[in-house]
Every structure is written in C-alpha cells, then in structure tokens.
Chains A and B, each alone.
Chain A
Amino acid sequence: MTAPPAATADPPAGDVAIRLERLTKTYPGASRPAVDGLDLTITRGELVALVGPSGCGKTTTLKMINRLIEPTSGTVWVDGVDIRTRPTHELRRGIGYVIQQAGLFPHRTVGDNIATVPKLLGWDRGRIAARVDELADLLRLDRGLLGRYPAALSGGQQQRVGVARALAADPPVLLMDEPYSAVDPIVRAQLQDELLTLQREVHKTIVFVTHDIDEAIKLANRIAILNVGGILEQLDSPAEMLRAPRNDFVADFLGDDRGIKRLSLMTVEDASLSKGPVVAESTTAADARDAMAALGYDWVAVCDGDDRLRGWIGAAELDGADTVGELTPKPFRAVVTADTNLKAALDGIVSSQTRVAMVVDADGRYLGMLTVDDLAEGIVA
C-alpha cells in the first residue's frame, strides 16, 4: 500500500482487489479467442498496466471487469465478490471508469459531469456540491470551469474532468482505458505526473490499458504484457521486466533501448559512485597533477573549504600556477543529486566535456561522480 509507484521490485504483498480467473472471451464469429484463459491477481492499491499490440485483448479484458463485455467463460472477482452476482449498474457505480477522450457528457456542465455517479447514487445536493468542489481542487481544475460545458475545455482539462468523474463516489477501483492517447505529448506527460501524485494520495487499485510501453513503465507498479489472443506473456514490475524479459516477444515489445529505460527507473542513489579527481583550492599545482595522474584524468575538480563543488580545471591551465585556488574553475555541465534519475544523469554525462556527472548533496557538497562505466555496471548487475 505504501510502496511508491514504479519502485517495487516484487509483486506487492497485500489483499487482493481484483482477481481474473481463467477469463476467456470469444467474440461471435471469431475463430480464436480475444482473451484466452487469463489469470491475473491485482493487489489493493497497485496500478497494473495492461500493455500489448492491437488485438491483444487488453481493452476487452478491462471491459470484462465492469461487465461492459460479458466473458465467454471464467470469473472476475472484485473485492472477493463474483461480479456476476451483482446488478451491472450497481457494480459499475462502484468502479471508476476513465476512457479515451474522456467520454464526457457534452450536454452537461463540467460540475454536473463530475457529479454523475453521486447523483445516480442519490446523494443529497449539499454533499454532491462539496464533493465536486473537492475533486476540482484535487484535479487542479479551476472552480470557474465547473459551470462550463466540456466543449469549452482543452483536451487535458477534459481528461482531468474524466478522472474527477471516475473518482466522484470514491470507488476503490479505477479502470482507465487508454486515457491519455488523444492528448499531445506535453500534456500527456503532465497528466501522467499528476496521476502519480494523485495515486500517492488516493491509493486506488488501478487497471490501466495502454499501447504505450513507456507510459506503462512510468506509471505502473506492475506491467502485464499481453500477446495477440489475450496471452499473458509476462507480469512483472517495470524494473524486473526490463532487466529480464521472459521471451523475445516481451523483449521486442520493450524496445531496443531497454537499458536506457531501466536507467529512467533508477536514481543516482541506486548507483555506486566513483571517487573522482578532487582537490581543495589550497592544493598546489603539483599535487593536483598527481591527483589527475592517479586516476587517469586530464582535469581535476575543485572544492572549497566546505566541500562545495566549485568547478573543474584542465591540466594545461595548471602550468605556471602555484595553487589551484589561483585559477578560475569552469562549471560542470552535469551536476546531479541523489534523486536524479539515471537516464537524466546519462544525458548529462554524454553532453559534458569531462564525460562525468558530479553528484552533490542538497547543500552543494561533493559526494562523488558518475561515469558511463558506473551506469553500465548498474544495468548489468
């Protein structure tokens, strides 16, 4: 429950929110099943992404959880209850549902859209109004928008309203069907970040369908990669899946930049740092040369008396100087902190002249440095 998103290595332990058991769907007239005997257990509070190429049955699977599609065979359990034992409309009012392009009701104001499920549940007016305001704040929607119609909103705002509507009656489970595929990449990244923040607050059990593996890696605690016909190829945390894809299909689907993607899931904290050629300002030129030579560099990093990183000085500049302090150090291009992700650190390394990323603490004190070799070790390990 308290595990931060995208950081758990193993399937989180905890109570089961959703269980799919031998779930199969064969559409009338189809020669092979769209989903074939799928078993999947989803723990309370985790975000599971269903990912795969078109025709892999990911949306079909999602829609079988709220019975928009009836399975041919198999069982779906939500909160330990076989969903067939509940009236469909009651079941659905207890499951948040977010779809592509939001699916807002164009003839209802934003506020009325958000209030949809509470109204269906018969809440009183005061409680609905308070809840709508609360959700507008939670989703960072200006309250002035509540009286507008959806057509007046941007794609990103509409999608936020879609999420607010899904959360309105505080359902424990949220189903999201390619919610961000229709918005532009910048807004999409923003909405993804917001979802991660939101999820830390609301701890919903989320089933998230996407065809975008990067979105899944960014958002999910666990990813289920499905193959055509609803075959579950692998179910793992993003880090584990990137480290050890079970077969060629999964490896292909993850892309040829698996290593880089893994870096994006790790932070500087996860890497082992090199010591680096570092000297104090009072160091003599000769000692500075020794420090370079000892580690095989042609530059040296300079720190002040409080260990704060000042910059670097090249070997040639030391000629004619007595101490390092006489020279003006050049600033490092890549200075990172413990919570920087390793993909960003790598970017800093390859775009800096010294080919390293310097690691400092919150006060700018030097902690160590990262080289491409250090990162590579982390990936291989």
Chain B
Amino acid sequence: MIPVLAARPPSWSGFGIDGNWDVVWYYTVAHLRITALALALGAAVAFPLGLAGYRWRRSYPGILGVTNVLYTIPSLSLLVLLGLGFGLGLLNDRPLIVALAIYTLAILVRNLVEGLRGVPDSVKDAAAGVGYTPRRSLLAIELPLAVPAIMAGFRVAAVSTISLVSVGGVLGRGGLGFLFFEGFRRNRTSEIIAGIVASVLLAVVVDIALVLTRRVLTPWTPARAGRR
C-alpha cells in the first residue's frame, strides 16, 4: 500500500516538462505515500476513539470536541509545533504525516460513530435476540453495516489530505507541493502546472479507488446510491 521512494530525488532541469516526467512521478509517489501514512495513522487513532464514543455515549461529545478543536489549528503552526516542539524534526515527513493524521480525526471519528448509530435498532435488536454477544454483534453486524458511512468519511479525509500535503512544500517537503514552491522560486510555470495537475489527478484517482473499494466491501447496497 505504501509506496517506496528512490533514494535520491531527481531534480527538474530546463523550463519545459520534457525530460522531467520522472520528477513529476517521483513527487506524485511521495505525495501518495504521505497521504497513505497520514490516513493509516488517522484511522488507527480514530477507530478506538470512535468505538469508545459509540460504546460510552457520554464520552462522545468530549471526543468530538477535542477532534474539532485540533481541526481548527492552522496547518503551518501545527507543523512547526510538531517539528520543533515535539522533536519530530522539520526536515523529514514525520511532522507533516502526524499533522495530517490529526486533521483526519474529526471526520473519521464522526463518520464511524454516525455509521454505527445509523444501524437500525431492529437489526441490533435481532442480533442480540438471536444470541450474538455484544462484541460479536459489533464485529459481525454493526461495523459491516457502518462501512458505507466509514468509507464516506475516508473519501472526504483522503481528498482533503491530498490537498493539504502540499503545505509541506514550504519546508521543502510535501510531495507535489515541492514542485509548486520550487516552480515559484525559479519562475518555472511548467513545474507549477505539473504539480497542480498531478495533485488534482491524484485526488480524483484516489477518490475513484475508494468508491470502488466501498462497492466491493458492500455488495448489498444499491449500486447507484452513495449511502443507504
């Protein structure tokens, strides 16, 4: 899932796109890698938080409040705070990945909880009534039925993460964002355009991939509807 990068980044030469496709590809892969790691980290944190918010109703407003507050921190401040304040360093991808993961929490936690709460009471009642233990009911009945909502959250989180990765370009990181910033600095329009087009394409491709994944995971839902 997580792309591996070549050891040394190729650098842009000349003013046109010709001969620079390898550069665009390199930073696209770097962009995807940061996105995937941030989403994975976000999901790993959001999952237990969401389950806790579902299981203990009274904890949910607090959990949601914290994730919402985190979401409002300006991205550059968060990057610097994580890089310097938490010792993750500024010249690697780690502060960026952690910052992006933090931003995904608000949407991922909310959609997980809403998805679980959206499972009809009659279904939960039936699951308990035929002899599912609460844990088995959660794993075998409630979570699978929450998949459409969970995946809807993933789509929003993925697309917003892809657009935010570029912020890292300020620090010389940030996947395709690097191309924007370098293009501006060196006054190379083709490099800027390549970065923009590639990041838009990446967002579209990832979104389509997530839609297809949801369809595979939820064969019971009508093919046309995004959510039941």
Contacts and interface: CB of A to CB of B under 8 A. Distances in A.
A41 interface: no
A103 interface: yes
Nearest to A152: B220
B122 interface: yes
A149 interface: yes
A332 to B, nearest CB: 50
Range for the number of chain A residues in contact with chain B:
20 to 34
A167 to B, nearest CB: 11
A151 B131 contact: no
Given A102-B126, A120-B136, 8 more contacts: A92-B128, A100-B122, A103-B129, A104-B126, A106-B145, A106-B220, A116-B130, A151-B220
A127 interface: no
B97 to A, nearest CB: 33
- Give the interface residue-count category, chain B: 20 to 34
A101 B128 contact: no
B122 A107 contact: no
Interface of A: 66, 68, 89-93, 97, 99-108, 116-117, 120, 149, 151, 165-166, 175
A89 B132 contact: yes
B210 interface: no
A275 B176 CA distance: 101
Contacts of A175: 129
Contacts of A106: 123, 145, 220, 228
A241 B126 CA distance: 33
Contacts of A100: 122
A89 B133 contact: yes
Contact of A97 (B129, B136, B218): B129
Contacts of A92: 128-131
Contacts of B132: 89, 120
Given A149-B220, A151-B220, A97 B126 contact: yes
Given A101-B122, A107-B144, A107-B218, A68 B128 contact: yes
Please give me the 3 A-B residue pairs with the lowest Cβ-Cβ distance, nearest first: A103-B126, A93-B131, A97-B129
Contacts of B120: 103
Contacts of B145: 105-107
Given A106-B220, A107-B145, A99 B130 contact: no
A108 B142 CA distance: 12
A165 B130 CA distance: 9
A270 B136 CA distance: 54
Most B CB contacts (10 A, CB to CB) among A91, A99, A107, A166 go to A107
A101 to B, nearest CB: 6
B126 A99 contact: yes
Interface string B211-224: 00000001110100
A233 B219 CA distance: 50
A92 B144 CA distance: 22
B123 A105 contact: yes
Contacts of A97: 126, 129-130
Given A106-B220, A107-B220, A120 B131 contact: yes
A66 B129 contact: yes
Interface in B82-123: 120, 122-123
A119 to B, nearest CB: 10
A273 B8 CA distance: 105
